[in-house]
Amino acid sequence: MTAQGQINETGFRVAIAVSRYNAWITDALLDGAQREHARLLPGAPTPAVFSAPGTFELPSIAGAAARSGGFDAVVALGCVIKGETSHDQHIAHAVANAIAAIGVDTGVPVAFGVLTVDTPQQAESRAGGEHGNKGAEAMSAAIETARSIVSIHRAAGSAI
């Protein structure tokens, strides 16, 4: 049996870092994340949204939010669509590794809501289409991870 940590909804703060590049997709991811936040934490403050010029800049913004001490979880939203070169792979790997490191280094969960797709159609189907909304999934993952961290601290008898 796993203990599910109780989060004080009225004080639970989430930051969302969202890329403006491919905004027709990232706006849909942001909408999904905000709706999922409202569904899961109806008493919590509205997430703070911070804009990034592109997906590559997301770790800088997510890291600043995580290190600020003002947020219990961070959600990073972006969209990298394959082009004619391998540029997309370099961006995707760098961002994924940096976002993972931020969560480990700060102890603040940072959810990876970055689409890495081959086509615009694949992006659309993951931003509210037939494959759901990965922004909503990232928000859910951030909240669930924060709850697990609360459980760990309580089980260990440490302050949160």
CA nearest to 15, candidates 68, 57, 56: 68
CA 42 to CA 21: how far, in whole Å? 30
Q: Is residue 160 part of a domain?
A: no
- CATH number of the structural domain spanning residue 84: 3.40.50.960
Inside any domain, residue 60 = yes
Domains: count for the chain = 1
Rounded distance, CA 101 to CA 59, Å? 9
Q: Which domain holds residue 54?
A: 14-155
73 inside domain: yes
Q: Which residue is catalytic, options 37, 87, 90, 131?
A: 87
- Residue 78, strand partner residues: 114
150 is a domain residue: yes
Q: Evaluate whether residue 6 is within a structural domain.
A: no
**How much is the pTM?**
0.92
Position 5 in a domain:
no
Active site residue 37: no
83-135 pLDDT tens trace: 999 999 999 999 999 999 999 999 999 999 999 999 999 999 999 999 999 99
Residues 41, 37, 4, 137: what is their CA dihedral angle, to the nearest 10 degrees?
160
Integer Cα distance of 94 and 74 in angstroms: 18
| 3 belongs to a structural domain | no
pLDDT band of residue 52 (cuts 50, 70, 90) is: very high
Residue 43: inside a domain: yes
Residue 1 pLDDT more than 50? no
